[in-house]
Structure 1
Amino acid sequence: MLGDSLSEGVGDRVDGAWRGWAPLLADGLAAEGRSAAFLNLAVSGALSGDVANRQAPRALAFRPHLASVVVVGVNDTLRRTFDIAFLARRLDGVLADLDEAGAVLLTACLPDAGRMLGLPPPLARPLARRQRSVNAVVHALSARYGAVHLHLADDTWTEDRALWSADRLHPGERGHRAVAVGFHRLLADRGLAHGTAPEREPRQPPPTRAEAWLRLATAGTGWLLRRSHDLLPQLLLLAGAELRHWADGTGPAPLDARAEDALAAALAATMGR
């Protein structure tokens, strides 16, 4: 498993450690009486460059039959260095190498962080614009390499609060189980999952409201402090650009057009190689 915090299992804590959807899915891949070897390389906060330069070589050395590249790009959208063309090239390279090695690829598109967090429009719009571009790249490359692709950006996921942890960015146990069940169904349709599907209902007692808020306050504050040198200034710059366009009467159209042009160029360069 390659990726960031979602594939690491953040939001689904069992016995003091993150579990998540990946091991739940792995338990349902092999037929009864057999087991599947499993390696999770995902790390919270990973960027596409981390996946390409650090995780992918280790994954290739593992020679996997299935390789999940589920969440690559979300953290990139929160950086001032975000460039959809660079991201597309990196992701294409990772998927191409794994595909050439014979791995069946698992991918997913995701909702934008601004909507999940309920940010005000000047902050939510630029993040949504970036996430749409990332999802478009993931869709195109998933089709190119015949990946098993799970849609996690539709209203079924974004509006069901029972699927998400207190931070609104990571699934809780119910959400991680839903991801595992979704991938198991798609893999079974291809004859690639031979075991029992993961259970849908959580086994762990849900955190109390006080526990959820405490976890959000402690983990969220630490995350904010680690990211304040990059994320907060970037969000303010993005919000400022949105507000300037609204103030001069042009609205979001120029920014939308700029993003669409950048995406079209990135797709043309990547898919045309």
Structure 2
Amino acid sequence: MEHFHRNNSSHNKTYSYIDYSNSYYNEETYYMYFYVAPGIIIAISLPLTLVGIYALFSMVRKDHIAPIYVINLLISDLIQLCCMIVQMIVQPESLLIIYIFGLMASVFFMVCISLERYLVIAWPLWYRLRRTIKISVVVCVVVWTFPLVCVLLFYFSDDFSRVSPTALGVFFLLPFPLLIFSLVGTIKALSAAISVRAEEKRRIVGLLVLVLLIYMVLFLPGIIWFLIENEETVLILGCVTFISFRLSPLADLFMYIFLRKGAVNKVLSCLCCFRKDRTSQTSSSEIDGNTHTVTSV
């Protein structure tokens, strides 16, 4: 998302484009933020996102609808990636509203993923009767419609390029309590769930923790930037927001790991093997060093 100029006063707080070549940016910083970093993110995220969508379609079953929300999340990421590609070539002002639409949809599909996992564990009998692909599709349509209505209201306002940062900050902050509630409620429910296997518990908790971390690390800086009034820190937070928002499509791809059965165990086993190798190498080095000392003596 392009950097924006914030014109703060007691009566007006606006949100509009700035000239990228202004005095705040030298030439190296300009190309790093607007070409190099987005180019690397696009080169990695775009093919992996397409592969992830294709792989998740094969996982959708009548009793396993969580991939539907992740698929829609990745589609919202595709919208953001396409906007980033166009932004690197031209910088149309109207593209901003499409990018914001992709961000809004991405955040609320993260909420859908968290709440769906919570309902599976906390209210299994109630949710089992309502866990159908048809209902999931309806939920997805509602989630797509809500940010679409918001951005259309922005677009058909007097000047859609002058959107209130405070309104955007409040909008992006709404999912935060829902994500916290889903994680805490799921952990409490899992502690009493005897029938749920240990691997399944790790996958569910890991997915919810990942969603919350993505939101806190990549979206909270932008929310603070939207809401902040101190002009001295606006530029630094703006740069952090610019990069963090663009990293969200790449971070969302890690959710695929927690939807594949056995994938979490494979990752943990790889990490354990890596730690064992490092430990054995350290022990071997210490033994070799002690042997060399004894030999010298």
Larger Cα Rg: Structure 1 or Structure 2? Answer: 2
Structure with the larger helix share = 2
- Sort the TM-score into its range (normalised by shorter chain): under 0.3
TM-score by length of 1: 0.23
TM-score by length of 2: 0.22
